[in-house]
Amino acid sequence: MVKLKIGTECLPTLYYAIEVCPINKSDVLSLQYVIDTCFRKIFNVKLKEVVHECETEFGVFPVTDVIDIRKRKFLVKCDLSDILLCQLCKIL
């Protein structure tokens, strides 16, 4: 049986430090295209709806949701941090 390692190996690399980078709509669409294309090739499907259903079944969320979640977690950690840079950002 083939085990999909998208969520444990590929996506963390794709999303590395995305929460601290300025991301525009084009970047989001490019990242989503990469993920969608992987699922299209793995499951040999063409329809966008089927691709998104496969992603949902494997727990792969839309890129916009992932970015929002990661940014929220980062800001909470930064807010609780004693690191000087984080403290300066709170003041501003």
Q: Report how many domains make up the chain.
A: 1
Question: What is the pLDDT confidence band of residue 3, given thresholds at 50, 70 and 90?
Answer: low
pTM, full prediction: 0.80
One DSSP character per residue, the chain reads -PPP-IIIIIHHHHTTTGGGS---HHHHHHHHHHHHHHHHHHHT---HHHHHHHHHHTT---HHHHHHHHHHHHHHHHHH---HHHHHHHH-
Range of the domain at 48: 6-91
Q: Is residue 1 part of a domain?
A: no
Q: What's the pLDDT tens digit per position in 24-75? A: 999 999 999 999 999 999 999 999 999 999 999 888 999 999 999 999 998 8
Question: What is the pLDDT confidence band of residue 89, given thresholds at 50, 70 and 90?
Answer: low
Query: What does the buried/exposed string (b/e) look like for 63-78 if buried means 16 or more CB atoms within 10 Å of the residue's CB?
Result: beebbeeeeeeeeeeb
In whole angstroms, give the CA distance from residue 57 to residue 35: 14
Q: Is residue 87 part of a domain?
A: yes
Question: What is the pLDDT confidence band of residue 91, given thresholds at 50, 70 and 90?
Answer: low
Residue with tokens 């980062």: 74
